[in-house]
Structures are given as structure tokens and as C-alpha cells.
Amino acid sequence: MSSTSGTDKYDKKERFIYKDDDAIEKPFNWAQVGRLFVYMKPYKRQLIPAIFMMIIGTLTRLATPALVILAIDEAIQPAEGAASLPKLYLYAGLMLLLYVVQWAANSYRIKYTNIIGQKVIYDLRHDLFKHIQKLSFRFFDKRPAGSVLVRITNDVNALQDLFTNGVVNLLMDCVQLLGIVVILLVWNFKLGLAIMVTVPLMFIVSTALRKRIRFAWQDVRMKQSRINAHLNESIQGMKVTQAYVQEKDNMRFFDYMNTVNVKSWNKASALNQAFGPVIEITSALGTFILFWYGAHLIQQGAITIGLLVGFANYIGNFWDPINRLGQMYSQLLIAMASSERIFEFIDEEPTVSEKGAAKALPNIRGDVVFDNIIFEYEKGRQALKGISLEAKAGQSIALVGHTGSGKSTIINLLCRFYDPVSGSVRIDGKDIRDVTIESLRSQVGIVMQDTFIFSGTIRDNIRYGRLGASDADIVEAAKAVHAHDFIMNLPDGYDTEVEERGNILSMGQRQLLSFARALLANPRILILDEATASIDTDTELKIQEALKALLAGRTSFMIAHRLSTIRNADEIIVLDHGRIVEQGKHETLIAKKGIYNGLIEAQYRFLSA
Ligand SMILES: Nc1ncnc2c1ncn2[C@@H]1O[C@H](COP(=O)(O)OP(=O)(O)OP(=O)(O)O)[C@@H](O)[C@H]1O
């Protein structure tokens, strides 16, 4: 499909809004640079030889033109006496030696800097991921998964270059530049100064141009990241797109974004190309001054031909570091933005944190008390408005109520994914804020509505409940929840590979797998968010049987959707707008003819019939 045809409809108008992840460039910030360099500290053993090799490499590069001067002035055309072939061989031999040393030093430098770069990036990514895993639900509520992903991948990658080459190259260029300036001025002050007249000129022109180039590339990156965001969303929503036959419209929108990206790239690339001539013109000007003024000095007998040739060599090496230092500065500004975003995550404190004096929760019986809980996700909007309830060990509690009434919130607080604004949740009489999070969550099992299946085998997925479980334990758990039969019917039984998110499994099968996983974990308290999807009667019966096995002897909180589950519960809690409005057994509540009765009549009439 032609890309231009797709742009007509979306010109200046975007169907989806993609928020750009902050500015790409940030001002230079020393404190942040210092923080980044802390990551290099453990690799002193590699950094020191890398810098040493860099110094050797630079010194040998600086020494080579000096040998050219000596070869011309002392061997080819000496001021006094005849040309000397042995001397020429000597200088040529020394030059060869310097090249070999330079090559070896550079090879080792690159080897060490690569190691440092890889290790630093590994550590940074490790710290970031470790920290993100600790962050509370509130953090993830505010951020789409995509933006978190971008920080671990793109932003960390953006720093890779800085750590691999940037730091050592920066030092190398500074040393080389300084070395050349000193050599030129010491060797012949007047000629050296004359050549360097062009430097400020080049500096002014290149700074202005480079700024425009930087912004142009930033624009390209922004456009590319929008394409990525759109691609990510499109692939995830592909089923909806196909179901609503929106492929053509999607394609047009994608073409529009693609075209905008190409235009932005062309602009940046054209500006980039303009940079080459600026360097060439200034370096040509420098060379012109060298030969014009140099010839003048030769005529006066102030310098030799060898010195002129040597100087020409030095200024050949002069522009490269200047050019690279400019690039390095742009790279640093980009790295500033990336590191700021990375540190913003690393500095984020989990809102649910452990007290210093938190002790491990001993093996629990399973008595749960919610004591006058008030909770809000956003300030001023209470999701729970004074909830008090009690579950004795082994009791099953069904939570029912309209959508948004607060069922999931109660469960979130029991697992301590959030802390209440006031009131407390106690297990066996202990406030859950006084115990370690790990000891709490490891004794509370959750079966989610949308069972998360990881890519791997069926066996691995069940084992996720208890990593140390034996194969026999896994089969036993699967049998107890009636999952064994369907697993054995899969092509490779327990070794069947399931794709990410378990697409090859039916909804009911996924439920049974998650029951087996929870049973294996053997928690004293079980939370069940029952799937709403209707399933065939046979599976429904299996699930009811499985539930019986799963709930036996445990305290359970169920967001129940099936009438059979609700009926069997020891206590039904009816929620409405964050309050408990009714509470009791099924028959009692039905007889009350209140909210519960209305809910059941509206939603479950067809099932109870
Ligand atoms: N992460 C969140 N951030 C802000 N508000 C939230 C968040 N999660 C839930 N809420 C709000 O809190 C209230 C209770 O939501 P909750 O998810 O507990 O309801 P629910 O009864 O479980 O609903 P459903 O049956 O639809 O799952 C709702 O008003 C909802 O909009």
C-alpha cells in the first residue's frame, strides 16, 4: 500500500494519543553524572588498564608525526651533511613499532571498555528490575506497562554507549587534543597559534548546527517511540481490531505515522550531512594557513620542511577529537534524560513498606479481621467506607455486590497490596503491617480471574505455586482439582509447552490449572476471584468439585460469580459503594428480600431456575 494514500485522512490529526515519555534531552547535571559513575566503581580493575592503554595509544599516536619530522629533517634532507639511509630505516622502523604498540593498546582498551560497558549496564538493569519488583500496586496504577518496559530497555540501552566508549573516548580525545596543542605551541609558537585561529570559528558554527541536529534526531526518536507504542497496542489488540474489521483504518493510521517518521528522519539526516562540510571547510582553512604561513617561515629559515609536514600531520589528527567531543556532548545530554528517568524509578519508595521491626508471621491458623477499614485509591475518593468483618479460620466468605462496590479492594488490602487510610487488617490477631510482606503473602494464596499462564510447560506453570514441589506433588495437586485428565489429553501431557498467556488452553482449563497451582502452594488463606465467563456444564461441575478440594480447611475470600459458589459460602458479604449493606447466609439474605435478593434475581435467575 502506498504510504502517501494513508496520510490524507490523518494529516495533522492522530486517532490515538501517545504521550511522549518526557523530554529526551535534559541539561547537564553533575550530581547525576556522579551517581552514574558510582556504577563504574566496582570495575576499577578494568577501568585502570583501559585508561592506561588509552594513554599509551594516544602517546604513540602523538609521537608518530614527530618521527616524520625527524625522518625528513635528519635523514632525508638534513640541514648539514648528506641524506642518511640508515637513519631513515631507523625512523621508519620506530614508526612501525609505534603503530604496532598503538594497535595493541587500542585492542586492549576496546576489550576493557566493552567489559565495563556490559557490566555496568547489567548492574543498572539488575538494580532497576529488582527495585521495580518491590514497588507497590499504586506505582503500577499510575504507569502503563509500556512505559515501565521502555525504561528497562531503551533508557538503559541509551546509557550503554556512554559506558562502553563514551567515558574512555572522552578522556582520550581530551588528552589527544591537549597533546597536539602543547606540541604545536612548543615546537613553533607562531605557526601553532596561526593554525588554531580557526578553532573558535569552527566551534561557533558547529555548536549552532549541532543543536539543530540534536533536536532533529530527538524528533526522530520521539516519532519512532510513538510507532512502537502503536505497534505494541495494535498487536495486543489485534483480536479486537479483526473482530471489528478495523484493519484498513489501522493500516491508514500506521502509514500516517510511518510517513511522519520518514520525513523526520530525512530532515535529521540532511542536517547531519551539512555537518561534514563545516568540518572540512575549517580544516581546509587550517591547512591553508599552515602551508601559506609555513612556506613564509621556511623562506625566512625559521622552520624546516620536516616541521611543516609534521604539523600537517598533527592538524590532520586535530579535528577528529573536536568533532567527537561535540558528539559526546549530545550523547551526554541524551544520557542525562535517560538516567534521570531510570533514577526516578530507582528512587521511588514502595508505598507499602516493611517496618524495620517487622517480624515473620508464624504459621497461621487463618482468623481474619477487617477492623473499620477506610481506604482510598485517590485522595478524597473513598473506595471502602468503614468495613468491619470477621472470618474464623476455615470459613469461606463470598463477597458480592455491583461492579465498583469494593470487592477487589478488600482483597487487595488483605494481601497488603495497599495499606488502609485508617483501621487495620489482622490475621490471627496480628496487624498485617507489623509482619514481613513475604511471610504474609506466602501464606495467602490467590487465584485470579484471568489466570496468568507463563510460557513454559504445564508442569512449570503448576510448580509456580511452590518451586520446590516434586513431580509427584504436581500430579497429586492436578488430580485433586480434576485437572489431571485434561492435562493427560494434551499432546505431551505435563510437558506440553504453553505459549505466553496460555492461549492454547480454554478458560475452564486455565482455571483448573490455577487451582492446582494454588493447592500446591497450600496457603491457609485463599483468595479466589471467580471467572465470570460462562463455561459448559461439565466443566462447571468439575470446577465446583475442584473448588471443594481447594477450599477444604482454609479460610477463603471469594469474589463469587457463580450461584453455586455463593450458596456454599459460610458467610455472604454484600457490598454497595464501599459499605457492607447485608451479611449472612444465602437463605437468610434471600428471605430479607433486600439488595442481595435483587442482585440474585437480576443476575442469577437463569442459573437457579
Ligand atoms: N487502581 C485504582 N485506582 C483508582 N481507583 C480504583 C482503582 N481500582 C479500583 N478503583 C475504584 O475503587 C472502587 C472499588 O473498585 P473495586 O475494584 O474494588 O470494585 P469491584 O467491586 O471489585 O468491581 P468489579 O466487580 O467490577 O471488579 C471503584 O470505584 C473503582 O473505580
What is the pLDDT, as a whole number, of residue 250?
85
| Residue bearing the CA closest to ligand 1, atom 19 | 404
Q: How confident is the model at residue 5 (pLDDT cuts 50, 70, 90)?
A: very low
Residue 319 in any domain: the answer is no
Of ligand 1's listed atoms, the one at least distance from the Cα of 575 is 21
Mean pLDDT in residue range 315-336:
79
Is the Cα torsion angle 556, 561, 565, 568 positive or negative in sign? Answer: positive
Burial of 496 (0-12, 13-18, 19+ CB in 10 A): middle
pLDDT tens-place string over residues 467-478? 889 999 999 999
Q: How confident is the model at residue 531 (pLDDT cuts 50, 70, 90)?
A: low
Check pLDDT > 60 for residue 300. yes
- Which domain, by its residues, includes 116? 28-187
What values do phi and psi take at 492, rounded to 5? Answer: -115, 25
Of ligand 1's listed atoms, the one at least distance from the Cα of 141 is 1
CA distance linking residue 594 with residue 573, whole number of Å:
13
CA of 406 to the centre of ligand 1 (A): 6
What is the pLDDT, as a whole number, of residue 433?
93
Residue 54 in any domain: the answer is yes
pLDDT tens-place string over residues 60-86? 999 999 898 888 888 888 777 777 888
Check pLDDT > 60 for residue 550. yes
What is the pLDDT, as a whole number, of residue 7?
43
What is the pLDDT, as a whole number, of residue 24?
56
Check pLDDT > 50 for residue 302. yes
| Residue bearing the CA closest to ligand 1, atom 26 | 403
Q: Using a 6 Å CB cutoff, which residues line ligand 1?
A: 141, 377-378, 383, 401, 403-409
CA of 423 to the centre of ligand 1 (A): 19
Q: How confident is the model at residue 12 (pLDDT cuts 50, 70, 90)?
A: very low
The helix (run of H) or strand (run of E) holding residue 571 is: strand 571-576
Check pLDDT > 70 for residue 217. yes
| Residue bearing the CA closest to ligand 1, atom 10 | 377
Of ligand 1's listed atoms, the one at least distance from the Cα of 410 is 18
Most confident of 50-59, 280-289, 536-545: 50-59
pTM listed for this prediction: 0.69
Alpha helices of 152-197 — where are they, by DSSP H? Answer: 156-161, 167-187, 189-196
CA of 409 to the centre of ligand 1 (A): 6
374: CB partners within 8 A, 6+ apart = 382, 384, 385, 386, 420, 421, 422, 423
Residue 73 in any domain: the answer is yes
What is the pLDDT, as a whole number, of residue 327?
74
Mean pLDDT in residue range 536-565:
81
Question: Which cell numbers hold the place of 206?
Answer: 558547529
Count structural domains, the chain: 1
CA of 578 to the centre of ligand 1 (A): 10
Return the amino acid letter for 539. Answer: T
Pocket test for ligand 1, best of 408, 580, 581 (most atoms within 8 A of CB): 408
Q: Higher model confidence: residue 22 or residue 124? A: 124
Pocket test for ligand 1, best of 407, 421, 529 (most atoms within 8 A of CB): 407
Check pLDDT > 80 for residue 532. no
What is the pLDDT, as a whole number, of residue 162?
81
Return the amino acid letter for 40. Answer: M
Residue 271 in any domain: the answer is no
Residue 536 in any domain: the answer is no
What is the pLDDT, as a whole number, of residue 23?
54
> Domain containing 112 — which CATH number?
1.20.1560.10
The answer to whether 101 touches 55, Cβ cutoff 8 Å, is: no
What is the pLDDT, as a whole number, of residue 22?
52
The answer to whether 507 touches 538, Cβ cutoff 8 Å, is: no
pLDDT tens-place string over residues 456-513? 899 998 998 888 899 999 999 999 888 899 899 988 899 998 876 556 788 788 888 8
What is the pLDDT, as a whole number, of residue 357?
84
Q: How confident is the model at residue 21 (pLDDT cuts 50, 70, 90)?
A: low
Check pLDDT > 60 for residue 47. yes
What is the pLDDT, as a whole number, of residue 104?
96
Report which of 517, 564, 526 is spatially closest to residue 397, judged by C-alpha positions: 526
Residue 93 in any domain: the answer is yes
What is the pLDDT, as a whole number, of residue 3?
40
Residue 137 in any domain: the answer is yes
Mean pLDDT in residue range 328-341:
79
CA distance linking residue 48 with residue 116, whole number of Å:
11
Poorest-pLDDT segment among 67-76, 135-144, 426-435: 135-144
CA of 425 to the centre of ligand 1 (A): 19
What is the pLDDT, as a whole number, of residue 390?
94
How many of the other CB atoms lie within 10 Å of CB of 284?
12
The conformation of residue 300, written as its DSSP 8-state character, comes to: T
| Residue bearing the CA closest to ligand 1, atom 17 | 408
Check pLDDT > 50 for residue 134. yes
Look at strands 444-447 and 430-431 and give their pairing.
Answer: unpaired
> What is the rounded average pLDDT for all residues in the chain?
84
What is the pLDDT, as a whole number, of residue 372?
94
CA of 381 to the centre of ligand 1 (A): 11
Poorest-pLDDT segment among 179-188, 191-200, 417-426, 540-549: 540-549
CA distance linking residue 383 with residue 576, whole number of Å:
10
What is the pLDDT, as a whole number, of residue 608?
45
Is the Cα torsion angle 534, 586, 405, 399 positive or negative in sign? Answer: negative
Q: How confident is the model at residue 534 (pLDDT cuts 50, 70, 90)?
A: low
| Residue bearing the CA closest to ligand 1, atom 30 | 404
Check pLDDT > 80 for residue 4. no
The helix (run of H) or strand (run of E) holding residue 440 is: helix 437-441
* pLDDT above 70 coverage of the chain, percent: 91
Alpha helices of 244-362 — where are they, by DSSP H? Answer: 247-299, 305-316, 319-347
The answer to whether 492 touches 477, Cβ cutoff 8 Å, is: no
The conformation of residue 457, written as its DSSP 8-state character, comes to: E
Q: What angle do CA 277, 336, 275 make, to 5 degrees?
A: 5
Query: Which residue's entry shows cell 515473620?
Result: 360
Mean pLDDT in residue range 9-16:
52
Residue 153 in any domain: the answer is yes
pLDDT tens-place string over residues 229-288? 788 778 878 888 888 888 888 888 889 889 998 999 899 888 878 777 777 888 888 889
Per-residue burial over 79-115, b if 16 or more Cβ lie within 10 Å, else e, is: eeeeeeeeeeebbeeebeebeeebeebbebbbebbeb
CA distance linking residue 420 with residue 220, whole number of Å:
45
